[in-house]
Amino acid sequence: MWTDHESERDFLNFSGVARTVAEIIEQAQSRPISIGVSGAWGVGKSSMIKLIHHELADSQTEGESKFIFVEFNAWLYQGYDDARAALIEVVASALANEAEKRKTGIDKANELLSRVNWFRAAKLVAGSTAAVALGWPPTGLIGEVLGHVKGVAGGNLDQEMIDDIEETVGDTSETLSGLVKQKKISSPPKEIHALRTSFEDILEEMGVTLVVLIDDLDRCLPETTISTLEAIRLLLFLKHTAFVIAADDQMIKHAVKRHFQGVDDELVTNYFDKLIQVPIRVPPLGTQEVRAYMMLLFIENSSLDDPEKERIRVAVCKQLSNAWQGRRVDLPFIRTLSDNLPEDLIARLDAADRLAPLMTTATKIAGNPRLIKRFLNALSIRMAMSHAQGVGVDESVLAKILLFERCGDPKAYAALIKSVTENDQGKPTFLVEWEQKVIAGETLKLDSPWDEPFIFEWLQLPPKLGDRDLRGIMYVSREHAPLIMPEDRLSSESSELLSALLDHPDMANSVKDRLVAVPRPEISVIMDKLLDRAHQEQEWGVPPILEACIVVTEADPSQGERLAGFLKERPRVQIQPSIVPKIADQTWANSVFSTWKDDDDVSKPVKRAINQRE
């Protein structure tokens, strides 16, 4: 299993991009800079942030670091705190802690914290007083006091309420005192200017650059997103500051548009562009990167020792950086890196080699690292289930089925399951012809829901499935689709009769009386299974399975038409004269004889036997 969180180890050859961002920050030489790391959900933005942090930290080899890092995840504060105040407080606290460690700028750090506390207090007071002015119900601590005062004005005051007022006012006074620390509150413009100046002064005195790494902004609700952006704007473009903001730019623009209702797309873009000086997109993964990523994930979970894993990872990333020269990351390349690869790891690396092209192009995965990891976790879970329940499952077959389940049309997947459950041996035999044609490069025209480009690529992916028993695979995959075999719909009596007919079809007459008592729907299921078995016959004289089918039609005459239709579809070269007297006494046989008589491909001995019976 692989955990779904960011990594400081590069599995995607993102180090080059991270190094570039680090160089941009270093080359700014204390000038303010803001960098946006953009990309869709799951493409690796959080890992990119970690790698940028790592590159900057490693750039300082001796002495005290010239960077102070603050990592802020607005999503964690959503619903619990005001994101704007939280960001400013986190940054101020980090600077205060660093000042204590470096024994410099301590007074300025304390002053900065007091100004941050002013923001807390200002928000508390402004929120309630504004509500009262607008006639809305007051909120927060001030609101509680005002609520009690309303009780006084209404003449409903009693001793219990007086005690509540004293307690609430005391709490409010203590809270405000703690927030402002006896600092006189001045006007907001003056405080904001003083706050920015205080930030610059402490950074200047400490001789460091503040690097604020903001992640998961695109997971937030629009209100939290805007609050965080406004806090960034408050600190943005101060000397000795660098902001790296990881988010899907489309989600950010959506939040801005929701907040500033009625603005057009151009103004939304302008707002975003004013915040971000250097936009960088996380590069999408191609087949080479997807293959390398899957292989490194398998290697990470293998029994190889850590130094060996790290050596292989570094070599793979170096190879990826030269992919533009035609160099490949594949199983042969990995095998050149180590002579100690376990057999089970080689099998998984081989699966990754084959799956990578489809994992890159399939629209429901599209090379997304997070989705790839989830796919591999699902595969791992199902393999574990198969081992726990004693179900023999080929991992490469399971991977191919899981890929179809995730990326194929749901109706096509349902049809695949139906084919497996209705086949006597659990084989989707309809795939055999398709696989042969696709692998041979022949034209294959399929109807909906099979007419997708994904299907054609999936059919080419080894191993072939048309002649495989997939019942075990479907059993461990029943979390998405229940495995309902036809025999599951049978009563114990009917199930016993079906087993007897399949095991000893030549003895079918001995259970005829019992078959008459079986409900008609269950007789249909029994005939389904007998006809599935009958498909395996290559000569139609008097095979034993025919005896069983005839007995079923005698127990339920409505099944006669089904058997007649089945016999009419048999290849003509398989029809033998001996079948004619066997079925001649059956009422449904006349339509079969009529079809055979009129068919030029039916042999003369068969036709002669029919004429003699007539």
Q: Do 320 and 469 share a domain, yes or no?
A: no
Does residue 145 form part of some domain? Answer: no
Contact 96, 109 (CB under 8 A): yes
Cis bond leading into 463, ω under 30°? yes
| Average pLDDT of the chain, as a whole number | 81
Residue 594: per-residue pLDDT = 92
* Domain boundary residue, one of 429, 455, 484: 484
Structure tokens at 530: 């007998």
Q: What is the pLDDT of residues 363-413, one digit of tens each?
A: 888 888 888 988 888 888 888 888 877 777 888 899 999 999 888 888 998
pLDDT of 46 higher than 90: no
pLDDT of 483 higher than 60: no
Residue 61: per-residue pLDDT = 62
Least-confidence region, from 111-125, 330-344, 397-411, 526-540: 111-125
Q: What is the pLDDT of residues 141-170, one digit of tens each?
A: 333 333 444 444 444 445 554 455 445 444
- Residues 6 or more apart whose CB falls under 8 angstroms from that of 297 comprise 2, 11, 372, 373, 376
Residue 588: per-residue pLDDT = 93
Q: Do 480 and 499 share a domain, yes or no?
A: no
* Domain boundary residue, one of 464, 484, 504: 484
Give the separation between CA 71 and CA 79, rounded to whole angstroms.
19
Does residue 524 form part of some domain? Answer: yes
Question: Collapsing DSSP states into helix, strand and coil, what is residue 396?
Answer: helix
Q: Do 512 and 471 share a domain, yes or no?
A: no
Q: Do 454 and 327 share a domain, yes or no?
A: no
Residue 496: per-residue pLDDT = 86
Q: What is the pLDDT of residues 538-580, one digit of tens each?
A: 889 999 999 999 999 999 999 999 999 999 989 889 999 999 9
Contact 469, 373 (CB under 8 A): no
Please count the structural domains in the chain. 4
pLDDT of 434 higher than 90: yes
Three-class HEC string of 196-235: HHHHHHHHHHHCCEEEEEEECHHHCCHHHHHHHHHHHHHH
Q: In angstroms, what CA-CA distances link 572 with 533, 577, 597?
A: 19, 11, 11
pLDDT of 349 higher than 70: yes
Give the separation between CA 88 and CA 111, rounded to whole angstroms.
14
Does residue 302 form part of some domain? Answer: yes
Q: In angstroms, what CA-CA distances link 60 with 8, 50, 87, 104?
A: 18, 16, 26, 20
Instruction: Give CA 612 to chain center in angstroms.
Output: 68
Question: What is the CATH number for 95?
Answer: 3.40.50.300
Residue 549: per-residue pLDDT = 94
Total-model pTM? 0.63
Give the separation between CA 360 and CA 519, rounded to whole angstroms.
51
Q: Do 503 and 596 share a domain, yes or no?
A: yes
Mean pLDDT of the 403-430 span: 88
Among candidate residues 249, 279, 319, the one with its CA nearest the CA of residue 10: 319
Cis bond leading into 449, ω under 30°? yes
Question: Collapsing DSSP states into helix, strand and coil, what is residue 302?
Answer: coil
Q: Do 217 and 333 share a domain, yes or no?
A: no
Does residue 571 form part of some domain? Answer: yes
Does residue 182 form part of some domain? Answer: no
Q: Do 90 and 212 share a domain, yes or no?
A: yes
Q: Do 609 and 508 share a domain, yes or no?
A: yes
- Residues 6 or more apart whose CB falls under 8 angstroms from that of 483 comprise 417, 421, 471, 474, 475, 477
Contact 236, 243 (CB under 8 A): yes
Q: Do 515 and 575 share a domain, yes or no?
A: yes
Task: Pick the more confident residue, 319 or 155.
Answer: 319
Residue 124: per-residue pLDDT = 42
Q: Do 256 and 342 share a domain, yes or no?
A: no
pLDDT of 101 higher than 90: no
Does residue 184 form part of some domain? Answer: no
Does residue 446 form part of some domain? Answer: yes
Residue 148: per-residue pLDDT = 41
Q: Do 591 and 495 share a domain, yes or no?
A: yes
* Domain boundary residue, one of 450, 484, 518: 484
Give the separation between CA 501 and CA 552, rounded to whole angstroms.
10
Does residue 518 form part of some domain? Answer: yes
Tell me the residue range of the domain where 318 lies: 284-361
Q: Do 602 and 512 share a domain, yes or no?
A: yes
